[in-house]
Amino acid sequence: MPAKTFAIITDIHSNAASLEVALSLIDNRNDIDQIVCLGDCFALGPEPKETLALLKSIEDGIFIRGNHDRYLLERLWEEDQPSLEGMDPYDPVCIGIVQNEKWTAEQLGDEGVDFVRKMKIASRDIVDNILVEFTHAWYQRDDKPPTMIEALHWRDHVMGAHPEVDQLVFVHGHIHSPREEKSENLTVLCQGATGLSFDENTQGAVAFLTIGESIKWDVIRYDYDINRTLTALEERKPPFYQSLINTVKYAKIKNDS
């Protein structure tokens, strides 16, 4: 069976300037069979509408729903004491992020919410005897990827249902930092983030996964017009924007002014 190559973007967070470069890198290749977006497309960034237009331009893309995409569907800000990922609802950081979710939903309108509603929880492909699973964090939860022990239990379950499979690849986003782990016949991968890195490298990230006689994982870190993103945050002033400016600038979580 011929090899199959996936191009992967993840955790864009309305950083359209970075997404544009990622898509151009993908377009420059002639071996891409499938584009996969692993979620967290819109919240916590300055250009939701621009990001939506770029994502809708991808033909036959696979779009996985992230936790921040889910918050838009749940209308988190309408809860009595909205919280996320175990945060104290009275924490100013939590309040700021929740208000950012509301702002993002208002920017996207019905068109954006409909786009999010059609996203998948996970996507699976089998190429010859190798199974590839794409999720934002995990199919059981979207706010914490599996540990290697959990992933190995998942492998055992999947192999029971697919006896033809002898290797598995689990690809996730969410953590905004690179991950590449292997145990026995299971490989767990994360490229980092396309639009909001947490690994102290301000470059964006796009990944290419080729499944054939072997598994090839290639992460491209690239420069983009970071000043455009910072300027858009400053000019549009979405809730929580000062912390986002610091996070974009230093590529690490900096929830201070």
pLDDT tens, position by position, 100-143: 999 999 999 999 999 999 999 999 999 999 999 999 999 999 99
Percentage of the chain lying above the pLDDT 90 cut = 95
39: nearest Cα among 143, 130, 124: 143
Question: Given this model, what pLDDT does residue 114 score?
Answer: 98
93: nearest Cα among 242, 195, 207: 242
Run of H or E residues at 222: strand 215-222
Contact 194, 36 (CB under 8 A): no
Structure tokens at 11: 């955790």
In terms of DSSP H, where are the helices of 172-253? 226-236, 241-250
pLDDT averaged over every residue in the chain: 96
The whole-number average pLDDT for the span 228-257 is 92
Q: Which residues, in sequence order, are bridge partners of residue 72?
A: none
Q: Does residue 78 register a pLDDT over 60?
A: yes
For 33-53, give one letter per residue: b (16+ CB within 10 A) or e.
ebbbbbbbbbbbbbbbbbbbe
Q: How confident is the model at residue 208 (pLDDT cuts 50, 70, 90)?
A: very high
Q: How confident is the model at residue 213 (pLDDT cuts 50, 70, 90)?
A: confident
The whole-number average pLDDT for the span 169-193 is 98
Q: How far apart are alpha carbons 14 and 245 in whole angstroms?
A: 13
Run of H or E residues at 218: strand 215-222
pTM for this model (two decimals)? 0.96
Q: How far apart are alpha carbons 177 and 252 in whole angstroms?
A: 10
Q: Judge residue 246's burial from the number of C-beta atoms within 10 Å of its C-beta, 0-12 exposed, 13-18 middle, 19 or more buried.
A: middle
253: nearest Cα among 214, 201, 186, 197: 197
From the candidate CATH numbers 3.40.50.2300, 1.10.10.10, 3.20.20.70, 3.60.21.10, the one assigned to the domain spanning 4-250 = 3.60.21.10
In this predicted structure, which of 81-85, 95-99, 206-210 has the lowest mean pLDDT? 81-85
**Per-residue pLDDT reduced to its tens digit, 84-104:** 888 999 999 999 999 999 999
Lookup result for tokens 């921040």: 68
CA angle 139, 27, 54 (to 5 degrees): 60
In this predicted structure, which of 28-42, 80-94, 100-114, 147-161 has the lowest mean pLDDT? 80-94
Question: Given this model, what pLDDT does residue 2 score?
Answer: 83
Question: Given this model, what pLDDT does residue 256 score?
Answer: 60
Question: Given this model, what pLDDT does residue 64 score?
Answer: 98
**Per-residue pLDDT reduced to its tens digit, 47-70:** 999 999 999 999 999 999 999 999
Contact 11, 40 (CB under 8 A): yes
Q: How far apart are alpha carbons 248 and 257 in whole angstroms?
A: 13
